[in-house]
Amino acid sequence: MTERKTDIGPPHYGQFLHPVIKANYGKWKYHEIIEPGVLLHVSETGDKIYSVRVGSPRLVSTDFVREACDIADKHSQGYFRFTSRHNMEFFLTDLAQLPALKADLAAKGLPIGGTGHSVTSIVHTQGWVHCHTPAIDASGIVKAVMDDLFEYFGSHELPAQVRLALACCLNMCGAVHCSDIAICGVHRTPPKVLHDKLRHLCEIPTTIASCPTGAIRPHPDKSLKSVIVNEERCMYCGNCYTMCPAMPCFDAEKGGIAILVGGKVSNSKTPPAFSRLAIPWIPNNPPRWPEVVAAIRKILTKYAEGANKWERVGEWIERIGWERFFEVCDIPFTFQHIDDYKFQAYDTYRTSMHFKF
């Protein structure tokens, strides 16, 4: 066996660049979107490259990747890439090659789209496939929602791009906090302290420090070497469970899904913005989560109907006002919508007469 290598880092990207990309690196002049999913980039040298964007479930098998490689070998000179939202992109140097590529993709059931004013792939997380804190599954909900919104993946019919993301718990690995529409798994039960396990598994000071609301205190019975939870102050974030496995907060029926809306990341027109709570809870209903699918379609449809050209979801809502958003989407406004989390609450007050009836 060879000497053990460490800290070599990833391979240099240089060896993975398609020849046309390598030749025109840093020289691109402009782009066009020929049709949904098909980008054209034109270089100052006059060179052109076509990129074909293709959806993927992200949670895949090695065979899936090998099949993508087969396609790339056949159509894309053995190069391809993934996007920051987990789509694949194949490169063509001639538009005439497109029909053949399309045919092969169709044969594999792989959709083309995700560019421009579309719904592109949903950034998401592990869920029940591989994580220990989820309130919900990830891939299953994504599949159900994308099946429903499929028409929007391969078209440019929306007023602007719409970015969905899913996180299966409040850790928000899907970074749903800045998405046009965000799906977030939420627990609704305070942790049950398993005193017997806790004393062996957990460090008490770290466990106490993990609680954002200070709901955890040392157990008054010192001999137990455990903690107690002030359930009234617990908002089920699960952070104590992350630090201490003896504090599970799962409940099959009470767990569920919150929908947040109106976040964004780009600086185009308006600055980046957080997603805001639209629906505090929808039941967790596998295998196809019909209530979640319906809620998202409703919001997306109302947005598509109501938004001005170029308006992202959040820009649309800011223009019509949140009171109208809840009205047109027929979403009841609840105590949960009103921020009561420490310092953040302060800035969400309506401190003006600027409201509508």
Q: In terms of CB distance, is 38 or 227 closer to ligand SRM?
A: 38
Contacted by 63, from another protein, ligand SRM, ligand SF4, none: CB < 5 to 8 Å by type = another protein
Q: Of 126, 139, 207, 226, which lies in the binding site for ligand SRM, with binding defined by CB under 6 A?
A: 126
The C-alpha atoms of residue 334 and residue 64 are separated, in whole angstroms, by 44
Torsions phi, psi of 162, nearest 5? -125, 120
Q: Which of 78, 104, 102 minimizes the C-alpha distance to 91? A: 78
Distances, alpha carbon 242 to alpha carbons 107, 133, 212, 233, 336, in Å = 43, 7, 13, 18, 24
Q: Does 351 bind its own copies (CB under 8 A)?
A: yes
Contacted by 226, from ligand SRM, another protein, its own copies, none: CB < 5 to 8 Å by type = none
95: three-class secondary structure by DSSP: helix
Distance in Å, CB of 249 to ligand SRM, minimum: 14
Q: In terms of CB distance, is 253 or 347 closer to its own copies?
A: 347
Distance in Å, CB of 102 to another protein, minimum: 15
The C-alpha atoms of residue 145 and residue 168 are separated, in whole angstroms, by 15
Q: Which of 141, 144, 245 minimizes the C-alpha distance to 196? A: 245
The C-alpha atoms of residue 146 and residue 142 are separated, in whole angstroms, by 6
Stretch 325-344 residues interacting with its own copies (CB under 8 A): 342-344
Q: Residue 294 is inside which H or E element, if any? A: helix 290-306
Query: Which one of 70-78, 128-136, 235-243, 345-353 is the stretch in contact with its own copies (CB under 8 A)?
Result: 345-353
The C-alpha atoms of residue 258 and residue 280 are separated, in whole angstroms, by 5
The β-bridge partners of 228 are 217
Q: Does 354 bind its own copies (CB under 8 A)?
A: yes
Query: Which one of 2-10, 121-129, 196-204, 334-342 is the stretch in contact with ligand SRM (CB under 6 A)?
Result: 121-129
The C-alpha atoms of residue 120 and residue 140 are separated, in whole angstroms, by 17
Q: How many residues does the chain have?
A: 357
Query: How far is CA 152 from its chain centroid?
Result: 17
Task: Sketch the per residue contact string, 239 through 268, with its own copies: x for CB under 8 A, - otherwise.
Answer: ----------------------------x-
Distance in Å, CB of 129 to its own copies, minimum: 33
Q: Does 172 bind ligand SRM (CB under 6 A)?
A: yes
204, with CB counted inside 10 A (0-12, 13-18, 19+), is: middle
Distance in Å, CB of 221 to another protein, minimum: 25
List the Cα angle 145/262/143 in 5-degree steps: 10
Contacted by 116, from ligand SRM, ligand SF4, its own copies, none: CB < 5 to 8 Å by type = ligand SRM
Query: Which one of 18-26, 119-127, 277-285, 318-326 is the stretch in contact with ligand SRM (CB under 6 A)?
Result: 119-127
Both tokens assigned to 230: 């002030």
The C-alpha atoms of residue 276 and residue 177 are separated, in whole angstroms, by 8
Stretch 205-264 residues interacting with ligand SRM (CB under 6 A): 242, 264
Distance in Å, CB of 46 to ligand SF4, minimum: 20
User: Which spans of this chain sit near its own copies (rule: CB under 8 A)?
Assistant: 267, 271-272, 342-344, 346-347, 351-354
User: Which spans of this chain sit near ligand SRM (rule: CB under 6 A)?
Assistant: 31, 33, 39, 53, 83-85, 87, 114-116, 120-121, 125-126, 130-132, 160-161, 163, 171-173, 175, 242, 264-266, 268, 312
